[in-house]
Amino acid sequence: MSDSEDFDPLTPRGAKSADTHERRMPRGVVIRLIAYLVAGHVVAAFLFLLFSVAGKG
């Protein structure tokens, strides 16, 4: 018999490594991403307000 009968493609077959902690983004990158998103929305809101006031005049 071959091993293909017992093969399960959903079972991980890689070697167990010492790196078992969950991989995630560093805290500084997450904080910077949130800060850039907030700053980008503030700039977009300012430009929207600027053009809406200028369009009424």
The whole-number pLDDT of residue 15 equals 56
Distance CA 36, CA 42 (A): 10
Which residue in the block uniquely carries the two structure tokens 């071959």?
A: 2
Q: Model pTM?
A: 0.56
For the record, the structure tokens of 21 come out as 């902690």
Which residue in the block uniquely carries the two structure tokens 């307000």?
A: 49
Stretches where the chain sits below pLDDT 70 are 1-3, 13-21, 57
**Side-chain half-sphere CA neighbours of 25 within 13 A:** 8
